[in-house]
Structure 1
């Protein structure tokens, strides 16, 4: 993958390290009407482009400082003979699980055919945006980062020449631009403290307001996926789902195209009343084409359609675990999403782009970071193995072998790292600090206490069944991709020796506990360490820790590997689990089966990894 040299140079105004800062740029260009007009643009962090006052493009910084990518946006329909260009860049500058901190910059060029019309250099005028509260740094969540404060009562400030920062090197992000849609229908109900808004379903997009204010006043807008006691709880637990807008007297029209929000409900807290023409969300999504599968069973159809909508809500610049509190690209989450996408949508360029991005998250210790990019990192070893599976499945479903040379180095390093940790007893121990030995959100598998541990913290050494079985499972995939031969027979023998409970006919979850889980035993099936008897015990043992919603993929695949006759069980199991969510009124599928019951109200009610019916309904011909 070669880098392109854009004609422009990187430019900025003010301190490029300043946190939570908005910088405006403006210029002009003339078209001849001889060809299509395209903008190539790269920035740190999020940008919005206006041509002649119309939003022409927007996106986020989903890359690495040493692997900058540029978007290619067609401007033709926005252009006339003389054109005004305005760009605002929002620089985060704060490490999160969705952003790796670097200096703020803007880089662009505009072409009509092969004719260069405009490029970023010192002659592009710029200023610190006077309307956003710069340096505010109000956190939504540690994973996602900042919300915003917009002050419509502020006045315009002058522009000056930009400061050049360096050459314009970037890779083309081979994805289509995100779409900005018309505002969704919103039911607005006044109350004594403000206005309650119901969008009718989970909606992902940008806050949009059209209203008249009797005087200057601060509006605090809360948004949420659920109601608690009939009210919008915009500050559950450690989260803060709110944004602030200071209205000017008279007409206010505001659209934020920098921070996506997600939810069904909003509440606008306004002490002095408003005459609202519209308040809600303009959806934004990635333009994938659906396959529109039809099923005879109405329940299956409803589950499938809701799964596809859940997938759509969780993909923008890249796959997202959830569109609300994190918007983060994880290997495990995106593996489920990609798998569903091979059947629910046409094309595979989006999956490919994400797999390349993930490959850039290789750490010096040989495993992947927790997210991509990630400035705040709690690496999960199990998820590094999932990446090997992701690439294998991509090659299998798309037949696009050109990806392999690009990511081969990452695959080799991951497998080498795991091989190097095989001990004399034939097993890989759970990883020490700074790693998080997460598998799923169930007892003995989430290990959430490891997130806050330090290098000095000592924990008993243990070996986890899930990790060792997953290594064996993906080693076979790695060998098929690369032609290598990975020795796993010794590990298989060690697993039987250290984990198998002969009196139960099942494997224990780790070497410190005699409990057992559906996930780890399903992985044993996939690793070739079980038969129909183990499959039966996984489903019937009353003490078995049930598999979580996102990890049912391993349960279902393990069962099908032993006996295709489990098809009917799997379809009924899916219908039972997902009907419960539909009966609760959901319009997207939850992070876990009981997320709606979460007392802290922080679990997501829209999670891409839970859209698995979109895959299984296809392969099982529901």
Structure 2
């Protein structure tokens, strides 16, 4: 459906809610149903816009059909509303607009990426035609939906990690108002809605939610079917072929009375979507259906094991499925059930228990949903199946971690973190010109500013979260990234004040040695997080001692924080200079040089040629070496040797390795040091292991990963575009040459289409010593092969071939 954005005021719509029961405290989570009917006597309009929002989430129906899902994740002073054209869903006669709203109270810790305010509410406006205008007001009918309860955290399986999403349901179809979406439904016993806002007559107090138009497109909901059945069980129940016919062609499956059956359904790739089940219950005795969504098969955790063991993710013979569950109790007759929130899954297990009456499954399917990213780059083919697989899995990982925000992982958290999002935005820029979600992300973190100058590490969030100061530095890099890719000085200028506040905070942490010291604030509220490294554990500091270099505690400073600060200062200098603030740029660069000098003086070990993790420390990590190269603390003439020691001779020197979270930066340092091809095989080992283990998305960690889909691990896609094909960060300046620096020695043959700036693309292919280029527009290309640089002029659509020259070792 087409949508458009207009301002919400001058409409008369008001925030409404169902009336509270006498002396009732607000439940932590509940659903409310709303209805409004109108009669359309004249012709159906060609366009009919509904503008709608809710606190906390809504699902809009028009004449029983799904119309919209929202509002987009936000924060109170930028509370988004959706605009959707419902003309195609209208009919002559009586029409029904119905809304189901999920309300999470401020005290509820579920859904840590979804805001909620002190007031529940729904607001809607629709001008059907010149005579009919529908605004949310007290004429709307409302009712509490008692049929669904959210499963409390007290029932969470903590072997899976902390409960962050907590939107799993316990639903009873017998309590659902049947046909409440229909025009002929009798809602006489429903209550009239009541106003729900902080705004009051003759008061300057405004509603806490400042309505703004949605800045990103609506998430599509695309009908999809499961691909296969991995296994099923149950005495006298349906066979595997019965279940296969169900998912392939919706051939009904009948389950006898007093039966217990299970079936595992598979999607060929891990995905996210809204699950749907349609069932017919014979008789009055209710069947119960439990739906388990899981990322993979894994080792048995039910035998007292305290850790998870994951190997072949598709091993249905020896593995088990773990995950949260939704439970649905059937009512007599037809049942249609779908959980309110989308689920992340590769496998779905249905466990069905019937009573004295049989149950017929009509269909089980899902509607796939992701941010509608238009991928404008493609790896068409290569001589290496590994490269093709790296590309495909990386794209699927990125896609599943993009919805209304960038997400760390879609299965367990769905939180937007600065460190994770910076990488996901770079991966997005490599394959698409769509920066709408990136712009939204930049602004959300900007809006999370605290009074100490730092940003919230994760945002949006409905409550105060643990501070991770270093993440604010990644946001500075994030702003710089956007400027480099899109040349938008106006956006950079908008955020310079926030950049300066972050950098000033870190300047106050610089101690007598010239290094960033311990972070301010209570230790139980501040986490000096760097990376998930198994060797980095200081139990005496509790959870805040996890993922932190021990030198941070023992030496009073971790070298990585000073080096990351120096990198942020250099990026901020570029931003300031682009915005015409050369004096500020000079100040930033001077600070960076001082930090690098202090790191060399106090943290560089002449004996090993490596930087230590802290002043006076003997501990070594890849993190420190990599950031030393990227910040300039490691001199250019020593960077190559340093990177060889930290990657190839890591065990000899006792260097702690980065996890997948920081692997992107190891690749960047290897490239800058000129040893990229030399280190490629070693650096790619974790991804090769994941491919061998049949993952369809990249995991969060290498060893016993919690999540099988994590955005920061999609690095290989970026490497293929920027390093293997060699399309350097493009410029929107169409007069500037496109820089192409392919690495044909790394793969014998390759072809694809890639973005080269200004919305332009180039087809690149090579094989048998010949390189072919075809441009979408006339363009100048600076081709770098080995030590040779050639200027080429490409005509629109005219292929150009040149011989590949041997590259020096």
Moved more, 308-317 or 542-551: 542-551
Distance 1:400 1:225 in 2: 39
Moved more, 267-276 or 136-145: 136-145
Correspondences of 1:424-573 after superposition (within 5 Å) = 424-431=512-519, 432=521, 433=523, 434-443=525-534, 452=543, 462-482=556-576, 483=581, 484=584, 485-486=587-588, 487-511=591-615, 513-530=617-634, 531-539=639-647, 540-542=649-651, 543-563=654-674, 566-569=675-678, 571-573=680-682
Correspondences of 1:295-374 after superposition (within 5 Å) = 295-296=381-382, 297-374=384-461
Distance 1:452 1:2 in 2: 47
Change in Cα spacing, 1:355 to 1:109, as seen in structure 2 (3 Å) is same
Shift of 1:111: 4.1
Distance 1:421 1:342 in 2: 33
Show the counterpart of 1:612: 715
Please state if 1:38 is matched with 2:49: yes
* Structure 2 counterpart of 1:216, from 264, 286, 291: 286
Contact 1:356 1:406 in 2 (8 A): no
Moved more, 94-103 or 119-128: 94-103
Show the counterpart of 1:253: 336
Distance 1:447 1:77 in 2: 61
CA deviation string 1:491-522 (max 9, x = no partner): 22221222111111111123474221112210
SS state at 1:5 partner: coil
Distance 2:489 2:46 in 1: 35
Change in Cα spacing, 1:64 to 1:512, as seen in structure 2 (3 Å) is farther
Q: CA RMSD in A?
A: 3.1
Select the structure of larger CA radius of gyration: 2
Change in Cα spacing, 1:114 to 1:70, as seen in structure 2 (3 Å) is farther
Moved >6 Å (runs of 4+): 113-116, 230-233, 235-239, 446-449
Contact 1:20 1:135 in 2 (8 A): no
Contact 1:526 1:558 in 2 (8 A): yes
Could you list the runs of 5+ residues in structure 1 that have no partner in the other structure? none
CA deviation string 1:69-120 (max 9, x = no partner): 2222232332334531111111122135323442322122224699983222
Show the counterpart of 2:192: 161
Contact 2:370 2:402 in 1 (8 A): yes
Show the counterpart of 2:742: none
Moved more, 30-39 or 518-527: 30-39
Contact 2:128 2:134 in 1 (8 A): no
Shift of 1:255: 2.0
Moved more, 125-134 or 42-51: 125-134
Change in Cα spacing, 1:131 to 1:413, as seen in structure 2 (3 Å) is same
* Structure 2 counterpart of 1:381, from 456, 465, 469: 469
Distance 1:450 1:28 in 2: 60
Show the counterpart of 1:132: 148
Shift of 1:160: 1.9
Contact 1:36 1:113 in 2 (8 A): no
Distance 1:138 1:212 in 2: 32
Moved more, 314-323 or 138-147: 138-147
Show the counterpart of 1:392: 480
Show the counterpart of 2:366: 281
* Structure 2 counterpart of 1:98, from 113, 130, 144: 113
Show the counterpart of 1:20: 29
Shift of 1:546: 1.4
Change in Cα spacing, 1:92 to 1:396, as seen in structure 2 (3 Å) is same
Contact 1:44 1:61 in 2 (8 A): no
CA deviation string 1:304-347 (max 9, x = no partner): 01111111111111111111010111111111111011122342
**What TM-score do the two structures reach when normalised by structure 1?**
0.90
Contact 1:20 1:136 in 2 (8 A): no
Could you list the runs of 5+ residues in structure 2 that have no partner in the other structure? 157-161, 178-186, 198-206, 235-259, 309-321, 546-551, 726-809
Shift of 1:558: 1.4
Shift of 1:47: 1.2
Distance 1:392 1:79 in 2: 47
Distance 1:271 1:512 in 2: 64
Distance 1:74 1:478 in 2: 43
Contact 1:35 1:113 in 2 (8 A): no
Correspondences of 1:388-427 after superposition (within 5 Å) = 388-427=476-515
Distance 1:294 1:548 in 2: 30
* Structure 2 counterpart of 1:264, from 333, 339, 346: 346
Show the counterpart of 2:204: none
Distance 1:202 1:519 in 2: 31
